[in-house]
Structure 1
Amino acid sequence: MSTTLDSGPVAPARPVGARRDGHGRRPRRGTGRWAAFAFIAPAWLYVLGFYLYPLAGSVRMGFQDYTVSSFYTGVAPYVGWDNYTAVFHDSHFSRTVVNTVLFTAGSLAFQFAVGLALAVFFNRSFPLGGPLRSLLLIPWLLPLVVSGTAWRWILDTDSGVLNNLLLHLHLTDHPIPWLASTHDSLIAVTMVNIWVGIPFNMVILYGGLQSIPGELYEAAALDGAGAWNRFRHITLPMLRPVTAVVLTLGLIYTVKVFDVIMILTQGGPAGSSQTLTTYAYNLSFQQLEFGRGAAVGNLLILVAVVFAAVYLRSTREQRKAGR
């Protein structure tokens, strides 16, 4: 004996992706596109108004004879490459480029080395490790005006804490004019910039160390690898992507450092601590050569774009190789 159950007509299956709203209507295809555009538009307007428009104005100004009167009359004749030619033939330009290279290279090398050492140190667990690591972030969190002013007091020739400490420890027999000497001013501003940038390197590298599996170190230790071999053959290779990010961002930031140098030495004495950023400032707002100042600023932008492009290309190649 069999029983047949009649459940009535069966509704046809709805095609996958055919969503309906609360009233049973299908949304229009263009609705999603307009909604996405509405969310993206504010970001694009921000980039256009605060980045692309000023950048276009700076590039245009680099090819104009822009003077104080140009702000009132709006007349700034185009002079072609004359501003760049004048900058390249300036007697201070070559020294400024050398100072910028030394300042950038010295800052990156010591920031990365000290930051990596601190990251490795804090990668192990010990009491009060977290609070101590948080305290080391203070130089990075403080406004640069505050940091620069504090270091200006510390590096003062007569009453500075650093000179008094060096004299007390008999490491020198006379006060060092850190900010007033043509030989020591670049060292002083580089030292302060290293102090400011160490926390950033430490935080990023510490995050990279946390992502390395601990099993790799355990297996290496079982094979008899010492601390140095584990660091050389495991830590450094695994940190290569993070290292590329840290060095690239550090390079872009360091090339355009301005406030630390202006607060400490203003590029002096006699241009001994002047970099391309302070050089552009002096041309624009002290010598009132706005076209030449814009030309130097455009060179800085070009350097940053080149290194950013190199970084993006290297990361793209690493992703392809990983696949």
Structure 2
Amino acid sequence: MDGVSIAGRGAPASRPARLLARLRVLLAPLPWLAPALLLIGAVVLWPVVEMVRTSFLAISSSGATLGGAGTRNYKDLFDEPDLGAVLLRTLLWVVGIVVITTVLSLALGQLLNARFPGRRVVRWAVIVPWAASVLMTALIWRWMLDNDSGVVNRLLLDLGLVDEPVNWLAHPGQAMAWMMAVAVFVTLPFTSFVILAGLQSIPPEVYEAARVDGASGWTTYLRITLPLLRPALLIGTIINCINVFNNFPIIWSMTQGGPQHATDTSTTFTYKIAFFDQHVGESAAMAVVNFALVLFMVALYLRAARRSGATS
């Protein structure tokens, strides 16, 4: 009986001990993870919290907080007559650049993966637009498109393709097309090298087995290369979506979103609300909308990629 009572008293004591041991195991990596977690909290989470908090405040043009504003900043934002067109243009900007870049990068990645004389030089040449300053690249393209002294107009005039110089950046449609071309030019190297890394990770034995089975080159690419490239494409597309959505230097240095808001995306529109209109709270509300749009686009793409992976 004494043994039973001793065992009964010992059983409850062992459960807290097990929980404590499990807690020690879970917390063991914390000293190693703490610096990274603190850095993420300071650089990522805290600015997001401040951005959301600011969107509910009334702030003067000098930066002084005048008190709470409730949802007035969001109401003022959604009452902006140009907001709908800006959001639609942003969607076109992101989808157009990412799709064109991905398609071109698939071809360029295949080229860079092939064996030919001077391959190393070609790889270095491809990476130059990515290594160069985005702002300087955009300014160079702006100079090239100048209607008086730009080399684009000079070349077209010499070839007889235009009768007089064209002010390419003065027309919203033409300006958007040229800015998207510059964005593709800048984004292409990164995506190409991500795809190149994915191609080099595919085992050669897979292609040998396909050749033995008599698969054609096109069938091999569709049935083997593309499915095995899915992780690289996923990483490249997500990073490109975020980078292109937040791209500010190209638009600002080439057109400043003008004329009026005709070439604005949501990023430059946010900047104008803050520094031109002096509405800091409304600009913070627009920043929150931008943040939500990025998360939505990434989640949407991840879901589509997951479905594609499940059905393949």
Per the normalisation by structure 2, the TM-score is 0.84
CA distance in 2, matches of 1:30, 1:240: 38
> 1:78 and 2:78 equivalent?
no
Instruction: Give 2:38's aligned residue.
Output: 45
Give the unaligned 5+ runs of structure 1.
1-28
Q: Which whole-Å CA distance do the structure 1 matches of 2:206 and 2:282 have between them?
A: 55
Task: Provide, for residues 63-122 of structure 1, a one-character-per-residue CA deviation record: whole Å limited to 9, x for no partner.
Answer: 2222225x34x3332222x22222222111111112111111111111111111110111
* Residue aligning to 1:180: 170
From 128, 144, 167, give the equivalent of 2:157. Answer: 167
Secondary structure of the residue aligned to 1:267 is coil
C-alpha distance in 1 between matches for 2:143 and 2:303: 44
Deviations 1:187-238 (A, max 9, x none): 1211110100000110000111111222333333344433322222222122
Give the drift of 1:133.
0.7
Tell me whether 1:61 sits opposite 2:51 in the alignment: no
Q: Please provide the CA RMSD for this pair.
A: 2.7
Separation of aligned partners in 1, 2:235 and 2:248: 22
- Between the aligned partners of 2:104 and 2:146, the Cα distance in structure 1 is 25
Aligned length: 292
Residue identity opposite 2:109 in structure 1: A
Matched, 1:221 2:200: no
How far apart in 2 are the matches of 1:274 and 1:225? 48
Structure 2: distance between partners of 1:224 and 1:168: 51
CA 1:318/1:110 → structure 2, altered by over 3 Å: closer, same or farther? closer
Alpha-carbon contact 2:51-2:288 (below 8 Å) kept: yes
Q: CA deviation at 1:173?
A: 3.0
C-alpha separation in 2, matches of 1:270 and 1:248 = 31
Residues 60, 66 of structure 2: 8 Å contact kept: no
What amino acid does structure 1 have at the position aligned with 2:51?
A: S
Identify the match of residue 289 of structure 1 among 279, 283, 297: 279
Q: SS of the residue aligned with 2:169?
A: coil
Deviation of 1:318 (Å)? 9.1
Q: Of the candidates 129, 134, 138, which is equivalent to residue 148 of structure 1?
A: 138
Paired residue type of 1:209: L
- Pick closer, same or farther for the CA change 1:315–1:100 going to 2, 3 Å: closer
Shift, 1:62, TM fit: 1.2
- 2:95 paired with 1:105: yes
Equivalent residue number for residue 291 of structure 2: 301
Matched letter for residue 37 of structure 2: W
- Evaluate the alpha carbon distance shift between residue 110 and residue 212 of structure 1 in structure 2; reply closer, same or farther with a 3 A threshold: same
* Bigger Rg, which one: 1
CA distance in 2, matches of 1:258, 1:113: 23
Per the alignment, do residues 172 and 226 of structure 1 end up closer, same or farther by CA in structure 2, a change over 3 Å counting? farther
> What is the percent sequence identity of the aligned residues?
32
Change over 3 Å in CA distance of 1:176–1:295 after alignment to 2: same
Q: Sort the Cα spacing of 1:104 and 1:313 in 2 relative to 1 into closer, same or farther, 3 A.
A: closer
Aligned equivalent of 2:11: none
Give the conservation status (yes or no) of the 8 Å contact 1:67–1:76: no
Task: Give me the whole-angstrom Cα distance separating, in 1, the residues matched to 2:276 and 2:283.
Answer: 10
Matched, 1:268 2:258: yes
| 1:20-39 to 2 correspondences below 5 Å | 36-39=29-32
Partner SS state of residue 75, structure 1:
strand
- Does residue 190 in structure 1 map to residue 183 in structure 2? no
